[in-house]
Structure 1
Amino acid sequence: MTDTGTTTKTSLNKFEKFKAEKDGLAVKGEIEKFASLGWEAIDETDRDHRLKWMGVFFRPVTPGKFMMRMRIPNGVLNSNQIRVLASVVQRYGDDGSADITTRQNIQLRGIRIEDLPDILNRFHTVGLTSVQSGMDNVRNITGDPVAGLDADELYDTRELVQQIQDMLTNKGEGNPEFTNLPRKFNIAIAGGRDNSVHAEINDLAFVPAFKEENKVFGFNVLVGGFFSAKRCEAAIPLNAWVSPEDVVAVCRAVLEVYRDHGLRANRQKSRLMWLIEEWGLEKFRSQVEERLGKSLLPAAAKDEIDWEKRDHIGVYKQKQSGLNYVGLHIPVGRLYAEDMFEIASLAEVYGTSEIRLTVEQNIIIPNIPDSRLATFLTENLLERFSTNPDLLTRSLVSCTGAQFCNFALIETKNRALAMIKALEAELILTSPVRIHWTGCPNSCGQPQVADIGLMGTKTRKDGKTVEGVDIYMGGKVGKDAHLGTCVTKGIPCEDLQSVLRQLLIENFGARLREVVTVRN
């Protein structure tokens, strides 16, 4: 480490200490032992922390039932893979479920440690991995959800995203080069014009841009975006333009600089932006160039993010003649085994076995021929996973909440669904309103990018501590994306429906439905 990253052994925080003692990836060779020991007998640091390097998360709120986070690059799955995921959670009955995340990923719930060796073997047979998906690693890499399908796309992001994952994880086997970052790290590649990946909230993002003098396609580079309990920042331009061929190398260079020089003393000040601010952007850029082995070209004068954000729910023509992709709304991203089996069957019967995930926690089934489309739309599953949901339901996003997450201060998913249904019964809207729920300041539900963001907190009412929210407003996605700000603090959840009703009327053109009184 250099001066900015230097910490003495006595000043290391507890996370840096246990990483120095034993690399997190080392537990990969101990899975069989852990399975035979049982969760209560595993070394506490291995159980609570190092297992996250294998994507396995101990949850004190559900002791003995672990969460498992996958890596689904660019959100692309096939029917065999989703069947394997479904069979895993099916084993656990009412405890088993899967959540689509805001990073085009899937998290499985109810996992028991004794089943882990078999689960990992089953993943391997269908090309799935959960390696390096937690703690101080690069999280799931996001790309355009309609990559390769959209006639207006500028670049198909799928292959680049897979190449980055293969580099980071040694093709899913685990890569010690990148298992000890100062903190977690997010990467996104945008291939379309509408910023479907929310580039601005990533530590490293690539957005489409043409070099003016010769109209050569490439990407402008953004750095430093992040959400945390203490601070949220949008990514800033690195003043660099890279060709698609250099994207993987630039990712490696940025990560090496961050790994070797990132701040490690204070976990709250360890994300990439803190290093950029301490060094200054020019020094950071020059250090990246040194690792890259060549100079970076200046950024293109403008990027190509000039469309409003699309949610991809509904029926859309593909660029392939005679084919369609259909976006299904998955309420707050929650799936059960029977849902997943049925989705896999629909993808096989009507499409080409492919399924896509979106950052709005929804699913896309592509490659449905014109001749099969009408029949597909009559399938029973679409009554629950609609192609045309109500306007508030359509844009609802929620983190896991207190039902499964020990960080969450409030329950989110079930409450969010119930409240949205109640508001839709009261109000008439003319356009979607993006309402995001997150259970705590870690902001997994991304309230800062929403029209209305709700962050869980504890507040006081009638002398008692109750579940409440802080309200954020003004988040903008798509072109000219920016983060919203907190406008109201400490609203008790039991009072929230009336507050949201008023916000929707005053700010989003909602109208109260007329109440028809029936007289005898």
Structure 2
Amino acid sequence: AGIADLADAHGGGYSHVTTRANLQVREISPEHGQPFLDGLVDLGLTARGAGADNIRNVTGSPTAGIDAQELLDTRPLAKSWHNHILNDRSLFGLPRKFNVAFDGGGVLPVLEETNDIGFQAVEVMEGAAVEPGIWMRLVLGGITGHRDIARDTGVVLRPKECNAVADAILRVFIENGDRTNRNKARMKYVLDAWGYDKYLAAVEEKLGRKLERVDPVHVKPRGGFDRYAHVGVHKQVQPGLNWIGVVLPVGKMTTDQMRALATISRECGDGQIRLTVWQNFLFSGVPDDRVAEVESRVAGLGLSTKASSIRAGLVACTGNRGCKFAAADTKGHALLIADHVETAVPGLDVPVNVHLTGCHHSCAQHYIGDIGLIGAKVTVSEEGDTVEGYDIVVGGGFGEAARIGTEIWKAVKAEECPGRVEALLTDYLRHRTGPQESFQAYTARRGPEALKGLADARLLEAAE
């Protein structure tokens, strides 16, 4: 509600949940910049570390502390690291943006494998080189816009060690990151040049000690993911309480909606709003006998606690309405795709993630979507006239199915993209082995050449 007041007084009267699970307020004129920042401080919030060439806002499990499956509540770790980086100016001014995430092992992943540094709560079993118990596994080098997913280093840490190790990792990068080429000024490229062993040796030198390592065979497999856990009603570990995920149209809320949602949270839940990397939010602490009321009040705001298979995983970056780098109106086109698919593919009965990003920075992480679209200018005349469009990839994934997608179409006009997505999903329903075969598994089995041909097949059907 406080942010809603600031957005009305100094911004455009709305806000967006971003793909790093924070709030973005836009259309702030220069003279309103300082009052807006002052207002954030008064609310106990900050915009420092939210963008530019520094450590990005920290992400943690949105269901931390309420998820029966989780191994560790990551909130203290994320808060401690947040305070650490904001209070040490030597960690500002990195060669390029730097992402850190903490995953507690619950049903709703935080996409830590897409971060430069990821800490994953794991259970180490008997027989390992360290005592059994809950440890944090270290993964490094995630940057999906550059087609790479963080890799397991074999290192495990006590939760209290995360800050010191992350600090050392950062300082090695600051000293050795390449500032001469902005496209390669990320930790991935130091890791590519050095290899993981050399990089970890430099980290150990900074720390003045060796890091513990555990063979993966001694790590208990984590519990599964629920791809709908960020939407709808879910039982909490606390008896009689629930979290409820609210769908936002590509992350957008008006200030009137924000105030009303805050009231619902106070009156029907524990007063908390938890943001997710899927551009939506959760109410938490809702008693069983208040669930129906929450659903009804949310619906009265023009929002929903239920989502179709296409909208549950619909992600879009800022797009060219608010970002100078974007080549297309990603949010507008995402909603057009969802509207079209709901009508044209009514039989879609499993969640399919569609990610639209406006440029190569890939803020919407298009390479890990089941279907990913990256903005491109499409030439439509000999004189070089262009229209908005996308290159399209398929078969990406996250968590237990982490994978970089494969490009199948280039320079597709935006107006044609809903039909292309329809063609992919229709073919999936026709040729999958059954509902148990994911869209990702289907694309791998079908192969890129067969999928590329769907565009020609669609044109033939239209001509007939």
Question: Shorter-chain-normalised TM-score: which range?
Answer: 0.7 to 0.9
Q: Which amino acid is the alignment partner of residue 394 of structure 1?
A: A
Match of 1:443 in 2: 362
Of 149, 154, 157, the match for 1:239: 154
Return the offset for 1:382: 5.5
**Are residues 1:274 and 2:185 paired?**
no
Q: Which amino acid is the alignment partner of residue 369 of structure 2?
A: A
Deviations 1:327-362 (CA, angstroms, capped at 9, x unpaired)? 101110011111111111111111121000011001
Instruction: Provide the identity percentage.
Output: 35
Highest RCO, 1 vs 2 (Cα 8 Å, sep ≥ 6): 1
Return the offset for 1:193: 4.2
Deviates more, 1:454-463 or 1:442-451: 454-463
Of 394, 418, 432, the match for 2:351: 432
Q: Which amino acid is the alignment partner of residue 490 of structure 1?
A: A
Return the offset for 1:437: 0.7
> TM-score, with normalisation over the residues of structure 2?
0.87
State the alpha-carbon separation in 2 of the partners of residues 317 and 187 from structure 1.
Answer: 28
**Are residues 1:184 and 2:97 paired?**
yes
Of 327, 330, 336, the match for 1:412: 330
Match of 1:163 in 2: 80
**Are residues 1:372 and 2:372 paired?**
no
State the alpha-carbon separation in 1 of the partners of residues 431 and 328 from structure 2.
Answer: 27
Deviations 1:145-185 (CA, angstroms, capped at 9, x unpaired)? 10000111111011100000000002xxxx31111211110
Is residue 4–residue 258 contact of structure 2 (8 Å, CA) maintained in 1? yes
State the alpha-carbon separation in 2 of the partners of residues 466 and 208 from structure 1.
Answer: 46
Match of 1:517 in 2: none
> Does the residue aligned with 1:400 lie in a helix, a strand or coil?
coil
- What is the correspondence of 1:82-93 to structure 2 with a 5 Å cutoff? 83-91=1-9
Deviations 1:446-483 (CA, angstroms, capped at 9, x unpaired)? 11111100111011235442211111111112313122
> Does the residue aligned with 1:167 lie in a helix, a strand or coil?
helix
Match of 2:417 in 1: 496
Is residue 207–residue 303 contact of structure 1 (8 Å, CA) maintained in 2? no
Q: Rate the CA distance shift 1:331–1:300 in 2: closer, same or farther, 3 A.
A: farther
Structure 1: any 5+ residue segments left out of the alignment? 1-82, 512-520
Match of 1:484 in 2: 405
Say what the alpha-carbon RMSD is for the aligned residues: 1.9
Match of 1:12 in 2: none
Deviations 1:245-286 (CA, angstroms, capped at 9, x unpaired)? 111111111111111222222111110011112222111101
Match of 1:473 in 2: 394
Of 142, 145, 149, the match for 2:59: 142
Match of 1:310 in 2: 227
Deviations 1:11-43 (CA, angstroms, capped at 9, x unpaired)? xxxxxxxxxxxxxxxxxxxxxxxxxxxxxxxxx
Structure 2: any 5+ residue segments left out of the alignment? 433-464
Is residue 393–residue 421 contact of structure 1 (8 Å, CA) maintained in 2? no
Q: Which amino acid is the alignment partner of residue 480 of structure 1?
A: A
Deviations 1:336-391 (CA, angstroms, capped at 9, x unpaired)? 11111111111111112100001100110001112222222221545632111222
Q: Rate the CA distance shift 1:116–1:92 in 2: closer, same or farther, 3 A.
A: closer
Is residue 100–residue 107 contact of structure 1 (8 Å, CA) maintained in 2? yes
Match of 1:57 in 2: none
Match of 1:196 in 2: 109
Q: Which amino acid is the alignment partner of residue 495 of structure 1?
A: E
**Are residues 1:343 and 2:261 paired?**
yes
Deviates more, 1:445-454 or 1:254-263: 254-263
- Count of aligned positions: 422
Return the offset for 1:303: 6.0
- What is the correspondence of 1:63-102 to structure 2 with a 5 Å cutoff? 83-91=1-9, 95-102=12-19
Deviates more, 1:261-270 or 1:320-329: 261-270
Q: Which amino acid is the alignment partner of residue 427 of structure 1?
A: V
Match of 1:322 in 2: 240
Return the offset for 1:117: 2.8
Return the offset for 1:234: 0.9
**Are residues 1:130 and 2:86 paired?**
no
Q: Rate the CA distance shift 1:508–1:471 in 2: closer, same or farther, 3 A.
A: farther
Q: Rate the CA distance shift 1:330–1:510 in 2: closer, same or farther, 3 A.
A: farther
> Does the residue aligned with 1:91 lie in a helix, a strand or coil?
helix
State the alpha-carbon separation in 1 of the partners of residues 318 and 110 from structure 2.
Answer: 20
Q: Which amino acid is the alignment partner of residue 328 of structure 2?
A: I
Match of 1:50 in 2: none
**Are residues 1:218 and 2:131 paired?**
no
